[in-house]
Structures are given as structure tokens and as C-alpha cells.
Amino acid sequence: MRTQLEHVWCPSPNFGDRLRGVDILLLHYTGMKSGAAAVNWLCAPESGVSCHYLVDIDGSITQMVSEDKRAWHAGKSYWQGNDDINSASVGIEIQNEGPLGAFPDFPDEQIEAVIALSKDIIARHNIPAKKVLAHSDVAPGRKVDPGPKFPWAKLAKAGIGYWPQDISLGRELSIKEIQRCLWTHGYDCPVSGEMDEETVQFLKSFQLRYGLERTDGVADHATQHLLQDIVKGKA
């Protein structure tokens, strides 16, 4: 087992026992004005939330919950048949104001620390690339973090997570086929044949995660082609 990176401890009382093994790394932004404010909130008993780690804008790392414990960071969430993402994941909060600051860029120093920390976590738990997820993946419509500025492609280039390479020209999909692809990918998407608001939210989360030009939930050609490729393991 690899040893952990240099970090400081600020223990949070908000955790419990895991009900299953870890196979997900879940990334968030804090949506708060400062890393210190976020740590204080995540360690406050009255908040009812926590995370395993927080990476501040200068790259410093604070740990709040031991990796063998279930932190409370995902909330109501789902991925590939699992509705207890907290039990299955290690969570990293990344200091960024999000909508409070009109989605500022993530500093290079911070992202390098996220990459290093992620590599350590992935090695310890043998987490597959396609299970390095955004909060927006597991809670579509409710969460958008780590947001549109998060450099997923840079992480993937460093060996963290998944980023599609070449997108082939797939065929036009029916609504049921789109929903079936979304469900196969991991979303809790009913296959109803109706382009309802729930399906639109799943599409928005998919578009956001993979940096598509559209993030409005409209299933254009690029969205459909990428969705087909990822589900088929081609991208």
C-alpha cells in the first residue's frame, strides 16, 4: 500500500462506517469563498457534511476523514446501480468558488496537487479510470461540480480518470436508445421513450463532464456519437 502525500489533519466528526469497498474517486468544488471556510464547514458537527480531503488553491491538502471511513459528501446520488456513493467513494473537495465567483479557473499548482493526491488514492484502492467521477455525474440536476472549468483532459493525460480520444460518426438514436445508453453508462435513467426533464438533466451532466460544446441537454449529433462510443468502449 502506498503512503499518503504530505497533508494536515483537521478531523471531522461527520462520518460513519463503510457498507462496501471503495471503487470510486469523486471530485467536487467547494463553492465557498476560501479553503479555510470550507474546512471549517466540513468539520462543523452542525453541517452534517464532510469529505476525505480538501485541496486548496495553493496546492495544500487537508484531510478530514480517514479513507477507511464513509464521509458525507455525495448526498443523494447514484452510479451504475449503486445508490450509496458515500460508501463506495473517496471524496476530494477542490477549493473553487464555483458560481459565487463566476466559475474561476483552477490554478496549475492546485491541479498538480489534485493529480498527485488522486494517483495515491487510485493506487491504494485500485479505482478504474471510468470511476473517477464528478459530483455532477452522480447527482445530475442537483450538482454541477467540479464545474465547466475543471480540466478533466489534463487529469486524464496524467493518468487520472477517463477522457475520450477520437469520436466516430454513429447513427441517429431514438429517445429510448439515448436513455438506454445513459443508463448503461451509469445514470439512473428510466427508458421511457419520452424526452422528459429527468433525461435532459442526465444529458446535461454527460455533456458537462466530457466538455461538449452543448451543455443544455439537447441530444445533438456530437452528444449522441460520443455517448455511443463510450458505451461501446470505443472512445
Which residues are known to be catalytic?
93
Burial class of residue 49 (count of CB atoms within 10 Å of its CB; 0-12, 13-18, 19+): middle
Q: Which residue has the cell 458525507?
A: 72
47 and 72 Cβ atoms separated by less than 8 Å: no
Phi (first) and psi of residue 177, to 5 degrees: -70, -40
Cell digits for 46?
452542525
Give me the half-sphere count of Cα atoms (radius 13 Å) on the Cβ side of residue 135. Answer: 23
User: What are the phi and psi torsion angles at 53 (to 5°)?
Assistant: -140, 155
Q: Determine phi and psi for 212, rounding to 5 degrees.
A: -75, 155
Nearest to 64 by CA among 73, 74, 54: 54
Question: Residues 178, 180, 186, CA angle at the centre, nearest 5°?
Answer: 105
Q: Report the distance separating Cα 31 and Cα 76, nearest Å.
A: 18
CB-based burial label for 171 (10 Å; 0-12, 13-18, 19+): exposed
- Please, is 96 exposed, middle or buried when counting C-beta atoms within 10 Å of its C-beta (0-12, 13-18, 19+)? buried
